[in-house]
């Protein structure tokens, strides 16, 4: 029996850093204590010694390969090359599989669990046994299904979804899906997959009433690359073998992936491939349609919106929308990448910034964060404090640049606040490249000196200035305590998608006093 990979601990271990098995490598032994014969464990089992004292064990009786167990790969190669046993994982069910940068895998897993439930991530693994690779995160939501889960992820986590590299979907109703063991190396498995795929294509033709003039075109998306190759080969073989009798044609001749009528999605994990076929124009959202409004995922009115449930096709959800989100990031013309960090922070922290808020931006140059703030402000002001140059052009009318160290700007801000309508400071943000405790000292200097009767917020980057990660995490805990001591009611830390791996964002909210 192979181990269940859907346990949260296995999910987390599979996407954590790669660690070689503990202890020195030892020659594997049979249960009677004899060492296993190395020659017999070669692909061709070529031990010619008639009196070989070592154990000749067939693969199913050998010990399991620890590295394969943990990551789904081992550096000896596939199941035929490793001396030990590679047991494909059990077949599993999923609705969505996100392909993401390994560095962000843990963040995606955490968000999916928070949005769709603690057991929503049913499996996760990597594309190859290396640190710099992509991760595959398999998600299941019984309540929402593939299309509903996609919508929930966009609505709650547009930033994470914009950072996905691919979004594979496997609608369980109205789509076809199956898993295959050993598709990377076993010819029999490849033949079984070919036969199944041919049946699926026939079903697609029949269901959609395709003809030779208006045929089925299938887009193939798969990870890893070799699997995409297998599926392309299979499609070529099917189309070749059936010739003109099949109302399905290869892409090309002006037909691109955008024109496809169907999509074949597939991923491979622990030597088992999960293959699915769905209709690009298919509407798979089964959840109750609660309204006919499109889903707004970003606060800006010109940001891309998802068509309403019942109207959005699977292609809208799984193919076009991530591209639209990515295009939008270019369209907003951010001054610098830091722009997105504060933009994402305001969204994730649900900071209820209004046009009349007065804000302080500590360490503001070149001006990305100030740009985000001034886009939201109407009558409010932002003091952008930094000895370095602010390169926003034109300067926002709501901004005052104080070209000094923040420590020396407190009095100037005090005077400035007096001439504003409310006289109150509602938001302090700090992205200064300093030790988190130093940042916090300065930020608290502002927020406590000018505490507001209304709700007020602090948003601050906590960068790792420590050699060891544990020490950095301790520093963050200290900062949280200090915020509470300074009178903040809610204090929390998030690892945003716009943060690098060695940076998190701290939020502190003080309730208004009515």
Ligand X SMILES: C[S@@+](CC[C@H](N)C(=O)[O-])C[C@H]1O[C@@H](n2cnc3c(N)ncnc32)[C@H](O)[C@@H]1O
Question: Which residue is associated with the tokens 């305001």?
Answer: 346
Residue span binding ligand X (CB under 6 A) among the ranges 125-133, 399-407, 492-500, 503-511: 399-407
Q: How far is the CB of 482 from ligand X (least distance, A)?
A: 18
Which lies closer to ligand X via its Cβ, residue 88 or residue 367? 367
Can you state the percent helix, strand and coil of the chain, rounding each to 5? 35, 20, 45
For residue 480, the partner it binds in ligand X, Zn ion, none, with Cβ less than 5 to 8 A by kind, is: none
Q: Judge whether 224 and 128 are in contact, CB under 8 Å.
A: yes
For residue 74, the partner it binds in ligand X, Zn ion, none, with Cβ less than 5 to 8 A by kind, is: Zn ion
Interface with ligand X, residue 363, by CB under 6 A? yes
Contact positions toward Zn ion, by CB under 5 A? 37, 40, 47, 52, 54, 65, 68, 74, 76, 82
For residue 287, the partner it binds in Zn ion, ligand X, none, with Cβ less than 5 to 8 A by kind, is: none
Selection from 423, 412, 377, 417 nearest residue 396 by Cα: 377
Which lies closer to ligand X via its Cβ, residue 306 or residue 430? 430
In degrees, rounded to 5, the angle at the alpha carbon of residue 491 between the alpha carbons of residues 405 and 15 is 100
Q: Judge whether 415 and 470 are in contact, CB under 8 Å.
A: no
For residue 68, the partner it binds in Zn ion, ligand X, none, with Cβ less than 5 to 8 A by kind, is: Zn ion
Selection from 13, 19, 99, 103 nearest residue 502 by Cα: 103
Q: How far is the CB of 138 from ligand X (least distance, A)?
A: 35
What are the two backbone dihedrals, phi and then psi, of residue 263, each rounded to the nearest 5 degrees?
A: -130, 135
Which lies closer to ligand X via its Cβ, residue 164 or residue 370? 370
Interface with ligand X, residue 223, by CB under 6 A? no
Which lies closer to Zn ion via its Cβ, residue 133 or residue 295? 133
Residue span 313-352 as binding mask against ligand X, x where in contact by CB under 6 A, dash where not: -----------------------x-x--------------
Interface with ligand X, residue 405, by CB under 6 A? yes
Which lies closer to ligand X via its Cβ, residue 84 or residue 432? 432
Residue span binding ligand X (CB under 6 A) among the ranges 87-95, 128-136, 268-276, 428-436: 428-436
DSSP 102: G
Burial (Cβ within 10 Å: 0-12, 13-18, ≥19) of residue 162: buried
Whole-number Cα distances in Å, 270 to 73, 108, 504: 7, 20, 32
How far apart are alpha carbons 325 and 157 in whole angstroms?
Answer: 11
User: Which residues sit at the interface with ligand X, rule CB under 6 A?
Assistant: 336, 338, 362-369, 385-388, 405-407, 431-434
């Amino acid at each position: 029996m192979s181990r269940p990979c859907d346990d949260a601990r296995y999910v987390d271990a599979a996407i954590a850093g790669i660690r070689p098995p503990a202890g020195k490598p030892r020659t594997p032994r049979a249960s009677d204590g004899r060492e296993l014969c190395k020659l017999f464990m070669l692909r061709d089992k070529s031990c010619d010694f008639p009196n070989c004292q070592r154990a000749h064990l067939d693969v199913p009786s050998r010990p399991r390969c620890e590295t394969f167990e943990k990551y789904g790969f081992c550096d000896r190669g596939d199941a035929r090359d490793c001396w030990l046993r590679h047991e494909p994982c059990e077949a599993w069910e999923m609705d969505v599989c996100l392909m993401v940068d390994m560095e962000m895998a843990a963040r995606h897993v955490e968000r999916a669990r928070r949005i769709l439930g603690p057991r929503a991530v049913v499996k996760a693994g990597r594309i190859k046994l290396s640190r710099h690779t992509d991760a595959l995160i398999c998600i299941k939501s019984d309540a929402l299904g593939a299309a509903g889960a996609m919508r929930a992820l966009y609505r709650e986590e547009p930033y994470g979804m914009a950072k996905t590299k691919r979004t594979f979907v496997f609608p369980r109703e109205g789509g076809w899906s199956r898993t295959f063991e050993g598709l990377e190396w076993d010819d029999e498995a490849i033949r079984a997959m070919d036969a199944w795929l041919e049946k699926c294509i026939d079903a697609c033709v029949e269901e959609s009433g395709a003809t030779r003039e208006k045929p089925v075109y299938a887009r193939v998306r798969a990870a890893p690359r070799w699997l995409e190759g297998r599926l392309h080969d299979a499609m070529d073989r099917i189309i070749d073998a059936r010739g003109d009798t099949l109302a399905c044609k290869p892409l090309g001749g002006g037909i691109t992936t955008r024109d496809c009528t169907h999509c074949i999605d597939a991923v491979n994990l622990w030597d088992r491939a999960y293959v699915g076929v769905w209709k690009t124009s298919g509407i798979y959202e089964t959840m109750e349609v609660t309204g006919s409004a499109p889903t707004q995922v970003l606060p800006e009115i010109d940001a891309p919106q998802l068509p309403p449930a019942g109207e959005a096709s699977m292609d809208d959800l799984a193919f076009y929308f991530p591209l639209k989100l990515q295009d939008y990031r270019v369209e907003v013309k951010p001054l610098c990448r830091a722009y997105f960090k504060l933009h994402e922070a305001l969204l994730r922290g649900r900071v209820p910034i209004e046009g009349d808020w007065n804000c302080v931006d500590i360490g503001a140059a070149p001006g990305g964060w100030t740009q985000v703030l001034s886009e939201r402000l109407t009558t409010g002001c932002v003091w952008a404090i930094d000895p370095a140059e602010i390169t926003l052009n034109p300067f926002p009318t709501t901004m005052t640049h104080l070209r000094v160290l923040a420590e020396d700007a407190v009095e100037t801000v005090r005077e400035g606040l007096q001439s504003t309508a409310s006289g109150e400071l509602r938001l302090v943000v700090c992205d200064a490249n300093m030790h988190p405790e130093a940042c916090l000292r300065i930020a608290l200097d502002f927020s406590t000196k000018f505490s507001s009767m209304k709700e007020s917020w602090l948003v601050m980057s906590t960068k790792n200035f420590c050699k060891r990660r544990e020490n950095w995490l301790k520093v963050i805990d200290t900062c949280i305590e200090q915020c509470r001591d300074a009178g903040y009611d809610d204090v929390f830390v998030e690892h945003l998608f716009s943060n690098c791996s060695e940076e998190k964002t701290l939020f502190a909210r003080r309730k208004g006093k009515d």
